[in-house]
Structure 1
Amino acid sequence: MSSRKSRLIRRLLVVLGLVIVVYGGVIGFSRYMGAKFLDAMADMPRPPVSVSVAKAGIMIWPQTLSAVASLKSIQGASLSPQSAGTVTGLFFDSGDLVKKGQLLLQLNDNVARAQLASAQARLINARLVRDRQQDLIKRHAISQASLDQAVADFREAKAAVQQAQAVLTDLQLRAPFDGHLGIREVALGQYVAPGTIVTSIEQWNPLRLIFSLPQHDIMRIKIGDPVHLLVQGLNKKGFDGKVNAIDASVDARTRDIQIEARIDNPNERLRSGMYGVVQVILKQDQQTLAVPQTAITFKSYGAYLYVIEHKQDADVAIARSVQTGRHHQGYVAITQGLKAGERVVIAGQVKLHNGARVQIVPAPKALLHPSMENKQGLNP
């Protein structure tokens, strides 16, 4: 019985050994074939990356001076009454567009009207006395002194009427010019004193644009030079205007000179107090080496792009660091690291690495010519 068990155990061990040998062989063969496949794949050349290119070219750009600018209204004021009194009439709402002379606020004028009526009555009486004295002097019935006194009394009564009318006028608040009102700060029935702010008023078109430039740019700017303003979040095309005034002196602390321009604001989208970036467009044009801005990649260590070079019967992309300058209508000026005529990648950089083989495909017109006039040498 024990010999039979021993034979059975030996057979099981033999079978188990065969299974292990076969399994190990399969695993080893699979690994061997996998390694061979990876070696074969490593030896295979990578397929070229499809990219679009453009040539770096010389472009004619207008010379500009840039600065941060603030907008101010041509006319603006805080409105307040000249007299004290209780508000009996409010004839505007916050934000109203008003015309020059439009009545905005009325203070209690009962006393002033009574004083005006009294002054007018005295004027009527003084006029009658004067006219009577003029008739009497012709008949030599009175002295010249009596007539002179009557004339003086008439003039005094007339001045009193004018004064009473002025007091009555001061109890009203009217718009000093056409413009947009601000927030209403008073209520009906409120007592106000002289100088109490009722609201504000501003003209929005055109607007004043105030900015400063370094003193060495004084001789480059002239009255009438065009300016272009960009305000974040508003019209992407910007707003145009002209230099209106140049300050008479340079700031002794900053060595900057203040410039004022007038900006057209026909749709009144701009507001006083806004800021933006202004470019003063000088008369002289400038030749600039530039590429489409999509060619440039910015990293923490600087800007770079891919230049196409022909090596071993293939086009390859070579990463190159460059120095960039101004941006203008979809292009970037290159001040160092590139020559005119060199081909640069403007689309497809995501899949590129330094030395990668590339296949050049046509570039979309929107990338090749992003709205720029007087361009030269930018075709692929």
Structure 2
Amino acid sequence: MLFDLAFAFIVTIAALLGLRGGVLPTLVAAGVLSLAAIAGIAAHAWLALAGLGAWLALFAVLTLALGSADQRLTVRFGMLGLGLVQGVVAVVLLAGLLLGTVYRETPAAAEKLRLATLYAPVAALGSRVAPEEQSVALAFPTPVDDVELANETPVPTIDWADVRPFNDDAIRALPGEIRAIDRTPLAFEVEGRVTEVNVDIGEHFEEGDTLAQLDTYQLEIALQERRAALIEAEARFEEAQQEYERQSALFERDVVAETIAETALASLDAARSRYEIALRGIETAEDRLEDATLRAPYDGSVATRLIEPAQTISAGAPALEIQSNGGGFEITATIPDTLVSQLQVGTSHEVTLLDGSDITFSAELRDIGSRATSTSGFPVTLRIPSPNDALRAGMSVEIAFRLSSNETGASFLAVPVNAIWSNDDGGFSVFRIDPETSTLVGNEITLAGTEAGLALVADGLSEGDIVATRGIPFLDDGMAVHLRGTGVARYDD
């Protein structure tokens, strides 16, 4: 509708300018328009567009400056006809230039122009005057009607990927961390305020060395109280023993009743119990006083220091973490589930320090965890048989795992994970592109696992197949598609 109005407007304005302008303006404008038409036919598109603009502007200016209404009727009708012809030529030239240049990369705009009612005669005239084989700048494609456009379904452009064999290299590099084999957290068995910390991270010590000390003032007072209680209990015990001996002697001479002797015996037993409790209280107080001193259980070094002087620490809270001297190092790492069956305990693997030294050494796989840690994979431990002097606990390393063959001998194909979708049967499928019809085919697959953004397919696809990788929820079986980056697509979405 818009293009119909534009075409009619151009023809009407040209006719009115010819009627009003007279001979000279109309002839000059006709000459300029002829040059623009020649430029268009000669494939000078932008020169032709500029000529069209100059034609309309010059026609209007000359008409306003030189035009006169006092001309003979025959002349005026002649100029009206010449202006009308110029308008038709301008419309044909404009439509051809738009479709041949400006709208070549914008199919939607070209579609609207081809839908215009007046485009059909314009295209017919343009095709005769400037055939496609003679002019590159002008294009007059076949008109499109509403019914044809409604029946035409846009072909979506999709992202895709080739199905390729899984890159099951003999070596897979994964990160790891060095730690000491004999590594122990130390804690005070009593709570208190830290008064001394005699070691720092990395410092070495010998068995029995004092590593840290708590304030013992309250513990010493408690020990003194226990000692005082022991002295009192000991005196009461001796007194009860003497009383029992005296009452026993009187009972044997029938001086006192048996009940009095029994009462003295009971008092002796109670005094003995209090004495024994007081003895155990002394031992407990001495142990608590000893526990206020943190001593080294073996020769080693400090891996982590968690306390500072004047800090109050509770019983059992870690104070230091130590590691033994000469106990050796091991490496911890996490491997994906797809590698578990390809690693064997006892095999040797090359390790590289990531501290910039590029030191390499061998480590032996000692253990593979029986349970995955969250979603990260399975924990593994490697033993370093001959530790290098440069090794320190906590260093980051890269482990080049040497993979053995899969137990089943199966080889997997790899596709991007986002190409996989769940089907109604609870399994997994992909959309494969049929190369002959360029349509989608839903393929059910057997998924063996995932690895680094790739889905490992055990069955259902062949090497070289092409699968859709994006917009899966909007695709359907049998849908015609265009592969992004291949050929020419009508709609580049």
- TM-score band, normalised by shorter chain: 0.3 to 0.5
Structure of larger gyration radius: 2
TM-score (norm 2): 0.37
Higher strand share: 1
Higher helix share: 2
